[in-house]
Chains A and B, each alone.
Chain A
């Protein structure tokens, strides 16, 4: 019956014409219709531009989300030799600039960095990094803190032999002596320093740099990088601060890090609002004492990390705001501090401007007092000379080029407005790029070279760009939230950092932030928009109506077949990450 019906249908009702084409449509080169031209062009993620060390964070998160932990860790190391340190103590401006923050919550970038460092430590990973051929110049570095070690690390990768001279018996600087163990365990630091030494950096401890020693160095090295830090606590400029019982906050932390257990019975008063003040107070609580922080502005104005202040208060540290010490006196065996009360008289530079609150004063009596209002260079000559006369002030360091003498660069706390580990690393990197350019191309090329290595609008710099890596191909445009196609992302809560319980942390120096597992880190990294970066999601390929998006060998890399691309721009619109650009066609 089927055949019969079919045959009848054909005879009575033929379909005489059915337009079909067996030829490929490739003959029709629709690319000639195009007046807009899409192209792959990676851009700059805001996190990477906000990171003083210029870490390629979008790529780090992408690799982490793919489980490529070693590659992710190496990506950090190209820009920062201290992922284990910065993954713990960095003030993470990256997270503040994260576009995801406008969607739900920023990526926990610091926690992912810490996870990668932990993973590398756990499996004793050895990084495989690009390294330039050896150079004849030798470079001396004074100070084995984060800035000096970073400079030596980068200079070694650039082919220079580096010697680091450190006054203390151990390397690490502020990381070794100034940050309490509950924030930065010794092993984490030692692991990073060991890796820096394994790259070929020679660290000479117990070798303070004096003016005489500096002259000696200048005879045998082609350049010197001075990064001795701010090791001396700033004076309060208050009568009585020289009295017995008035101590130096940094020195106190250093005693603990040397292994001592200072007597902190009774009440200790700490003057200051930075991380050092909070570290001193929390250390006192851990040693069994009571701690009271006195700060002349409000809690929200404190330069210390908000999280740290919150935890300090939870652990029993007391805080009194809007008081400034006026006079320090002996009161029997104790210390009596007269406080002048302050009030807020407006806002300036993002924090309260203060003035005395009439004549109001009060007194506090304590067993001892610690000064923690800031620090300065241990020796005046460490400080850079004023700019001009052979000294160039760069964004993160000062470079002195003197006729007939080796170049002298200064960096770290000696030159940075913000005294952070990340900024110290940025100084080391900038000094390394500047010196490398000086030796290879001459002094005149330094500024243009630094400009070429800038991440986004700066001042962060990229060593990968300086060394000719793929990152140099990125557009410097910093991707904004409106350029992300959020249709392709779903809301997901930010990971919660697991921590020691309060009772536990108030009586030990054990690290507070606990390790996180690989799947938590991967899930967190997956939240990342990877702003401006191609993760080969293939939206362009799927949406192209002309099959003009080609995939490279083994599925890697995408390109556009301009013979057929009509320039409709769908690929650019559907790119979730702004890794493509649509431009007018040149005609």
Chain B
């Protein structure tokens, strides 16, 4: 059924449809409406779930690790500083192979305090062993959340569904909300492979010596590979029920493109409108939207960018001392591909600053008019200070 929903509520609706049994959250800023909706669903009985209000994001993830270990499907949402506080336990969740799903609303990190969009918070967690999806709109949010449960549970790894603060979390859009039976058809009940059992007590995660630890980590690396190979099949099943498909990446008119923008999140939508504009003026722009960031879809990226003359990566994030993080990943994906195009990195929209069509057009012309990148990342739209 089509409804006009805030991005936050789209997440909450997907969590409801996934029949999540335990929701844990720390309710203070930078938290979003997501858990506000969920707490109401839990209180009203719309969801048959326990809502655990904890005293910090660290405790929140600890509570979910406990709940998921007991064999139930779990969820939380967080942002910015909250995600940073969870860091230690993000590793634990992945190491314990617990398919926890989290919505992470991208917010810039303090100081100075800033609750607006910036991907640095989630990208700082890229090495924790969590699957990461970046969403473009409300429909994609609801669909991705349901898919995230399927994928996470099939490879026993946790998954993060990432959405831009305000531009997506607080924006109302028409969203087709699946019916419960349809959702159930796509997403079967969670069955834990290892689960706490009071009848046969055991403890998880005891001391593991060097002789074994490396193999455990290799298993996680393999599970990430499996996630990448399995996701198209899951999307096929999803498309069979709902008729919608997004791919691990979306290549938009890349076949004949001279310059390809690499984007993620809501910037993609702005780039789409620029693309129409430039194409109508004879410019050959393409867009590669990266939806699945972990595992990183190296082959799909290589395929989409292989024919371009130049690549411009738009990063709403920055790794200080290096460059925009998507740009790093794209360069790493391409560097072993013979004859790959040069990669221009651009940093834009940090801390919630608007990334306008004009700004993107500036990036286009800068790329087009430069033979080679002047540096790893160029900051676009800086004011004189």
Q: Contact: B206 with A20, CB < 8 Å? A: yes
A4 shortest CB reach to chain B, Å: 10
Asked if B385 is at the interface of the complex by the 8 Å CB criterion, the answer is no
Q: Contact: B188 with A2, CB < 8 Å? A: yes
- Who on chain B is nearest to A22 by CB? B202
Q: Contact: A5 with B154, CB < 8 Å? A: yes
Q: Contact: A19 with B216, CB < 8 Å? A: yes
Asked if B189 is at the interface of the complex by the 8 Å CB criterion, the answer is yes
Asked if A16 is at the interface of the complex by the 8 Å CB criterion, the answer is yes
- Who on chain B is nearest to A17 by CB? B216
**Which residues of B lie under 8 Å from residue A20 when comparing CB positions?**
194, 202-204, 206
A24 shortest CB reach to chain B, Å: 8
A11 shortest CB reach to chain B, Å: 10
Asked if A12 is at the interface of the complex by the 8 Å CB criterion, the answer is yes
- Who on chain B is nearest to A20 by CB? B202
Given A13-B156, A15-B156, verify A22-B200 contact (CB < 8 Å).
yes
Choose among A2, A13, A17, A19 the residue that contacts B226 (Cβ–Cβ < 8 A): A13
Q: Contact: B191 with A6, CB < 8 Å? A: yes
- Who on chain A is nearest to B229 by CB? A12
CB contacts under 8 Å to B, within A1-59, are 1-2, 5-6, 8-10, 12-22, 25
Choose among B155, B188, B206, B208 the residue that contacts A9 (Cβ–Cβ < 8 A): B155
The answer for the CA separation of A10 and B191 in the assembled complex, in Å, is 13
Q: Contact: B206 with A15, CB < 8 Å? A: no
Q: Contact: B194 with A17, CB < 8 Å? A: no
Q: Contact: B191 with A9, CB < 8 Å? A: no
Asked if B358 is at the interface of the complex by the 8 Å CB criterion, the answer is no
Choose among A2, A8, A15 the residue that contacts B189 (Cβ–Cβ < 8 A): A2
- Who on chain A is nearest to B196 by CB? A20
Asked if B215 is at the interface of the complex by the 8 Å CB criterion, the answer is yes
Q: Contact: A21 with B216, CB < 8 Å? A: no
Q: Contact: B202 with A16, CB < 8 Å? A: no
**Which residues of B lie under 8 Å from residue A17 when comparing CB positions?**
208, 212, 215-216, 219
Q: Contact: B212 with A9, CB < 8 Å? A: no
CB contacts under 8 Å to B, within A71-91, are none
- Who on chain B is nearest to A19 by CB? B208
The answer for the CA separation of A9 and B97 in the assembled complex, in Å, is 13
Q: C-beta contact mask, B97-110 vs A, less than 8 Å → 1, else 0?
A: 10000000000000
Choose among A2, A9, A15, A21 the residue that contacts B202 (Cβ–Cβ < 8 A): A21
**Which residues of A lie under 8 Å from residue B193 when comparing CB positions?**
6, 10, 15, 18
Q: Contact: A19 with B154, CB < 8 Å? A: no
Q: Contact: B188 with A18, CB < 8 Å? A: no
Q: Contact: A18 with B97, CB < 8 Å? A: yes
Asked if B375 is at the interface of the complex by the 8 Å CB criterion, the answer is no
CB contacts under 8 Å to A, within B186-215, are 188-189, 191, 193-194, 200-208, 212, 215
**Which residues of A lie under 8 Å from residue B216 when comparing CB positions?**
17, 19
Give the A-B contact count at a CB cut-off of 8 A: 58
Given A2-B191, A13-B226, verify A19-B212 contact (CB < 8 Å).
yes
Most B CB within 10 A of own CB, among A12, A13, A20: A13
Given A1-B188, A5-B188, A9-B154, verify A16-B219 contact (CB < 8 Å).
yes
B293 shortest CB reach to chain A, Å: 20
The answer for the CA separation of A14 and B193 in the assembled complex, in Å, is 10
Q: Contact: B205 with A19, CB < 8 Å? A: yes
A295 shortest CB reach to chain B, Å: 59
Q: Contact: B204 with A18, CB < 8 Å? A: yes
Q: C-beta contact mask, B153-196 vs A, less than 8 Å → 1, else 0?
A: 01110000000000000000000000000000000110101100
The answer for the CA separation of A19 and B206 in the assembled complex, in Å, is 6
**Which residues of A lie under 8 Å from residue B204 when comparing CB positions?**
18-20
Choose among A8, A9, A22 the residue that contacts B156 (Cβ–Cβ < 8 A): A9
Choose among A1, A13, A19, A25 the residue that contacts B155 (Cβ–Cβ < 8 A): A13
**Which residues of A lie under 8 Å from residue B202 when comparing CB positions?**
20-22
- Who on chain B is nearest to A9 by CB? B154
Asked if B222 is at the interface of the complex by the 8 Å CB criterion, the answer is yes
Q: Contact: B191 with A18, CB < 8 Å? A: no
A275 shortest CB reach to chain B, Å: 54
**Which residues of A lie under 8 Å from residue B191 when comparing CB positions?**
2, 6
Asked if B223 is at the interface of the complex by the 8 Å CB criterion, the answer is yes
**Which residues of A lie under 8 Å from residue B156 when comparing CB positions?**
9, 13, 15
Asked if B230 is at the interface of the complex by the 8 Å CB criterion, the answer is yes
- Who on chain A is nearest to B227 by CB? A13
**Which residues of A lie under 8 Å from residue B223 when comparing CB positions?**
13, 15
A485 shortest CB reach to chain B, Å: 18
CB contacts under 8 Å to A, within B34-50, are none
B99 shortest CB reach to chain A, Å: 11
**Which residues of A lie under 8 Å from residue B200 when comparing CB positions?**
22
The answer for the CA separation of A358 and B200 in the assembled complex, in Å, is 94
Q: Contact: B194 with A18, CB < 8 Å? A: yes
Q: Contact: B219 with A15, CB < 8 Å? A: yes
CB contacts under 8 Å to B, within A95-127, are none
Q: Contact: A13 with B222, CB < 8 Å? A: yes
The answer for the CA separation of A512 and B219 in the assembled complex, in Å, is 82
- Who on chain A is nearest to B97 by CB? A15
- Who on chain A is nearest to B225 by CB? A13
**Which residues of A lie under 8 Å from residue B222 when comparing CB positions?**
13
A6 shortest CB reach to chain B, Å: 6
**Which residues of B lie under 8 Å from residue A2 when comparing CB positions?**
188-189, 191
The answer for the CA separation of A8 and B188 in the assembled complex, in Å, is 15
Q: Contact: B206 with A21, CB < 8 Å? A: yes
**Which residues of B lie under 8 Å from residue A22 when comparing CB positions?**
200-202
The answer for the CA separation of A13 and B218 in the assembled complex, in Å, is 11
- Who on chain B is nearest to A5 by CB? B154
**Which residues of A lie under 8 Å from residue B189 when comparing CB positions?**
2
The answer for the CA separation of A19 and B202 in the assembled complex, in Å, is 10
B259 shortest CB reach to chain A, Å: 38
- Who on chain A is nearest to B208 by CB? A19
B194 shortest CB reach to chain A, Å: 5
The answer for the CA separation of A13 and B227 in the assembled complex, in Å, is 9
**Which residues of B lie under 8 Å from residue A6 when comparing CB positions?**
191, 193
**Which residues of A lie under 8 Å from residue B208 when comparing CB positions?**
17, 19
Q: Contact: A21 with B203, CB < 8 Å? A: yes
The answer for the CA separation of A10 and B189 in the assembled complex, in Å, is 17
**Which residues of B lie under 8 Å from residue A14 when comparing CB positions?**
219
B262 shortest CB reach to chain A, Å: 29
The answer for the CA separation of A20 and B96 in the assembled complex, in Å, is 10
CB contacts under 8 Å to A, within B209-243, are 212, 215-216, 219, 222-223, 226, 230
The answer for the CA separation of A10 and B207 in the assembled complex, in Å, is 25
CB contacts under 8 Å to A, within B43-82, are none
A3 shortest CB reach to chain B, Å: 9
B86 shortest CB reach to chain A, Å: 21
A27 shortest CB reach to chain B, Å: 12
B131 shortest CB reach to chain A, Å: 13
**Which residues of A lie under 8 Å from residue B206 when comparing CB positions?**
19-21
The answer for the CA separation of A16 and B156 in the assembled complex, in Å, is 12
Which 10 residue pairs are nearest across A and B when measured between Cβ atoms? A13-B226, A2-B188, A22-B202, A21-B206, A17-B216, A20-B202, A21-B203, A19-B208, A9-B154, A13-B223
Q: Could you name 8 residue pairs across A and B whose Cβ atoms are closer than 8 Å?
A: A8-B154, A12-B226, A16-B219, A17-B215, A17-B216, A18-B97, A20-B204, A22-B202
Known contacts A13-B156, A19-B204, A21-B206, then 7 further A-B pairs from the complex at CB < 8 Å, ordered by chain A residue? A13-B155, A15-B219, A19-B208, A19-B216, A20-B202, A21-B203, A22-B200
